[in-house]
Chains A and B, each alone.
Chain A
Amino acid sequence: MDSDEDDRIPLSQRPEWSDVTPVPQDDGPNPVVPISYSKEFAETMGYVRAVYLADERSHRALQLTAEAIHFNAGNYTVWQFRRLILEALNADLHDELEFVEHLASKNSKNYQLWHHRRWVAEKLGTEAAGRELEFTKKIFVNDAKNYHAWSHRQWVLQTLGGWEDELAYCDELLEDDIFNNSAWNQVSYAVKAILTKPENESSWRYLRGLYKNSMPSFVMDRRVSTVCLTVLTTKANCVFALSLLLDLLSNGFEPNQELKNAVEALLPESRDQDSDMAVTICSVLEIVDPMRVNYWRWRKKSLHSEVEEGVRNLRVH
């Protein structure tokens, strides 16, 4: 913004503002954490105070809010006043989308900006859905994990439309029967992702999450233990495979010999092996995930109560 600062004409020198007296800030006698405001900032806020107190909802006030927002994009008072002005002027909100998009490149994690964007989109209604999804995609180009953009996307699909039918369908399927065709695809998708990058925690959590409401399916679906076995035998990063296997065992899963061998191979000292596979797994995890050694030791100690709980859950179903 440095070049803009050089071009900026002080408000006191702009003829269209000659009738307004700026209102200075009154910080009181002993302010705490005072900020050393630049003269440009102080002047802008002085004029903002003047128009706000006069409740002036004009074009020049609209322009002034843009200047204030550039100084402090988090100023929710100015954003809110801007919305009042836009309504009063019956402004073309498509221009407003442009304004937000321009700001977003440097303020993509600003809550007020995203709230404003949502307000505008909601006013424009369902016709805005496509553009909003495109907008989030643009953000993802530079920041694929932008939390605000994902929330906005979710909101667009839920509120402006596009996904209700599909979502309801998926929900229904997963609730009824995890072995249903599309759910089947979900598990395959997760397994493929795991095998591509076994060190990626996200795919493991996603797979586990698919069985959230169906514990028996979790235990009985052979694809779960199979993916664990595959990862263990390829000696790839096995922390998550072991953790998932531990989860299975706690829920009453009966391992076959192949699995037992694969786990024991990770603990070459047979004296460290235990007839209880879950105990052995914890011992391995203490070694391969040393950062969380205390946690795995605690898990080992808690095993009995875990298994009782898991088997109880199975019986209920």
Chain B
Amino acid sequence: MSDDGDLPWRFSADQGLEDQLFDRDRHIRYLEMNYHLLPSPYEGQEIIRLTLAYFTISGLHILDALDRVDREAVINWVLSLQAHPKNEAELNNGQFYGFHGSRSSQFKSLDNGVSVPNNSHLASTYCALAILKTVGYDFSLIDFSSILKSMKNLQQPDGSFMPIHTGAETDLRFVYCAAVISSLLDDWSGMDKEKAKNYILSCQSYDGGFGLIPGQESHGGATYCAVASLRLMGLIEDDLVSRCTSSSIIDVPLLLDWCLQRQADDGGFQGRPNKISDTCYAFWVGGVLRILGANNFIDEITLRKFLLTCQSEYGGFSKFPGQLPDPYHSYYGFTAFSMLQETGLNSFNVELGISTVTL
């Protein structure tokens, strides 16, 4: 073997971290294991089981291993979680008719006259549609109009979205969910884009990043939700950094500088200044930079090095180096590597949060 230190596949007697590779096979096995059965500690996340499914199935798609999935079973299970209004009157009763995150929020009413409200959730709805899109389900087969008609009920006067009509926190996460749902269904009748835009803009902080709610500290995840939503709504252009025009509804130079400073000395990305690097921000912040057209300003070599220290021997990725993997950080580790154009991985649509490579 030549002693060329630049070759990424050089082997040495003791495999130091510099020689570590992205272990695609091991990651596929990790996802397959999750796909078939999640161990009991995951009952603490039972309510978001559909989200765990999204991480697993979309993850397999990114790793170009979607053949491991029983497409029909997935479609049937996901569709079984949809909330259906019984009639026109029910559709207009103010509830949101989307998808439930799991059976824990989905109740079949007994014949005792007690009406059971549906607890379908905006984030679960996004995950459901993302999974269906991923496995190539033909959206024209089903009428999704009840989702869009009832989604309007969730939008607040200030433009933000509540995820469930029975009451919950309202913030940028759910504005993003509404925008990406509208985008996947290619129908914007379910939300007032102008109001949503104003809410998003009110979340941009003095330092260029976005907080989750107006007045809050800039945060990597919130910034992704803001920028991805604006992009999906067509309110900011692609590749803003290359365009010399400074007119944009957001302060792009300040945002750019804030995002780039989130790459820490260890190469990983942090969610806020002075916090430690965490795998998932390679997606949240890295994704924003990609949307802005500034991904070449990232130090990809040291980012890769950091991410590989979070790669688990069990497959998947952990939040911090040397910890156990979890579905969430694993998924965002995979998306980060896709953005780094890792061999063997499918390309990834940052704003939609899925790979749009067709099967």
Contact = CB atoms under 8 A, between A and B. Distances in A.
B208 to A, nearest CB: 8
Nearest to B55: A33
Interface in A75-122: 75-77, 80, 83, 111-112, 114-115, 118-119
Nearest to B81: A28
Interface string A28-65: 11111111111001000100010011110000000000
Contacts of A234: none
A28 B76 contact: yes
A74 interface: yes
Contacts of A302: 244
B166 A80 contact: yes
Given A53-B107, A80-B166, A305-B244, A38 B273 contact: no
Contacts of A295: 256, 260, 294, 297
Contact of A38 (B43, B207, B299): B43
B53 A33 contact: yes
B34 interface: yes
B169 A309 contact: no
A154 B296 CA distance: 37
Interface residues of A, number: 61
A115 B107 contact: no
A316 B44 CA distance: 57
Contacts, number: 168
B53 A202 contact: no
Nearest to A70: B44
Interface in A280-317: 290-295, 298, 302, 305, 309
A77 B47 contact: yes
A147 interface: yes
Nearest to B257: A243
B43 A41 contact: yes
A6 B80 CA distance: 36
A71 B44 contact: yes
B38 A33 contact: yes
B215 interface: yes
A300 to B, nearest CB: 13
Contact of B112 (A38, A54, A210, A298): A54
B125 to A, nearest CB: 14
B44 A72 contact: yes
Contacts of B109: 53
Contacts of B77: 28, 30-32
A292 B261 CA distance: 8
A80 B213 contact: no
A34 B43 CA distance: 10
A30 B258 CA distance: 46
A33 B56 contact: yes
B35 A36 contact: no
Interface-centre pick from B112, B217, B297 (highest chain A CB count, 10 A): B297
B37 to A, nearest CB: 6
A106 to B, nearest CB: 11
Contacts of B46: 35, 37, 41, 45, 71-72, 75
B49 interface: yes
A54 B116 CA distance: 9
A209 interface: yes
A41 B40 contact: yes
A212 B166 CA distance: 39
A73 interface: yes
Nearest 10 interchain pairs by C-beta: A209-B206, A30-B73, A295-B297, A205-B207, A77-B105, A291-B299, A75-B47, A41-B43, A201-B273, A33-B53
11 contacts: A28-B77, A30-B72, A30-B73, A30-B77, A34-B38, A36-B42, A37-B46, A76-B105, A80-B119, A205-B206, A294-B297
Interface of A: 25-38, 41, 45, 49, 52-55, 71-77, 80, 83, 111-112, 114-115, 118-119, 145, 147, 150-151, 154, 200-202, 205-206, 208-210, 212, 243, 290-295, 298, 302, 305, 309
Interface of B: 34-40, 42-49, 52-53, 56-57, 70, 72-74, 76-78, 80, 103-105, 107-110, 112, 114, 116, 119, 121, 164, 166-169, 205-207, 212-213, 215-217, 219, 241, 244, 246, 256-258, 260-261, 263, 265, 267, 272-275, 294, 296-297, 299, 302
